[in-house]
Amino acid sequence: MEILGIDVGGTGIKGAPVNTVTGVMLAERFRIPTPPPGKPKPITQVVGEVARHFEWKGLIGCGFPSAVRGGKVLTASNISKKWIGVDAATLFSNETGCPVYVVNDADAAGLAEMTFGAGRGRKGVVLLITIGTGLGTSLFTDGVLLPNAELGHIEMGGQEAELLASEAARERNGLSWAAWIKQFNRYLQTMEQLLWPDLIILGGGAIKKQDKFLPHLSVGTEIVPAQLSNEAGIVGAALAAQIKMA
């Protein structure tokens, strides 16, 4: 089945048609910077622009940086607070003229990795963490997703973890890699002590620099890099739409 996957991020909105049987993108990814400060109307217009770029007329799956229930946005940490309570699925459907299913962006990435990537065939508890503007998380038990596990917002030392250990935090706070690794290790250790996962998959934009930090992480859980890289959100959004609409 061919579905347009769109990944709405804090810095960019990108999409491509996806073959949901193979997980392969069927065209070059199209990306537009996320219009600051991430209000509903401008983001909706960009989602429409992505769909029009591909002259899309069918089903769309959209990963969104928020907890999402029934198409409605429940949280907003890296987008405007004006999104809270908004029915994003209806907005995007009206803009594109297509049926749209909206899913948490980290959940989308996790679905892609569990189906086509580093988590394929893995049983037990698997935690995917996307390291980028924030810390996105998706949690699976024997391949079954627990939706909207927003574990990047757990507190460490009185602050949200993603304010200390995301890629954006490293850049914003001018941290050396050694200093950032210390913070990120604290986060991983917290996740380990709370969830005792069998596998941790690390993805997001920072994974392109994995040689800077992956060898220096010190937790007992097996850690592997995501295999789909920045394609995971797009592929997973399309896959989530197929699963929901089946």
**Which residue matches tokens 């954006």?**
168
Read off the pLDDT band of 83 (50, 70, 90). Answer: very high
Judge whether 112 and 241 are in contact, CB under 8 Å.
Answer: no
Mean pLDDT computed over every residue of the chain: 96
Going by CATH, does the domain composed of 2-107+231-245 fall within 3.30.420.40? yes
Q: What is the pLDDT of residues 7-55, one digit of tens each?
A: 999 889 999 999 999 999 999 999 999 999 999 999 999 999 999 999 9
Q: Is the pLDDT of residue 66 over 90?
A: yes
Q: Give residue limits of the domains in the chain.
A: 2-107+231-245, 121-226
Contact 219, 185 (CB under 8 A): yes
CA-based diameter of the chain, in Å? Answer: 48
Task: Say what the pTM is.
Answer: 0.94
Topology alike, domains 2-107+231-245 and 121-226: yes
Residue 3, SS3? Answer: strand
Q: Are strands 222-225 and 199-203 parallel, antiparallel or unpaired?
A: parallel
DSSP character at residue 118 = T
What pLDDT is recorded for position 102?
98
121-226 sits in which CATH class? alpha beta
pLDDT category at 245 given cuts 50, 70, 90 is confident
For 184-232, how does the pLDDT look when each residue is reduced to its tens digit (9 = 90+)? 999 999 999 999 999 999 999 899 999 999 999 999 999 999 999 889 9
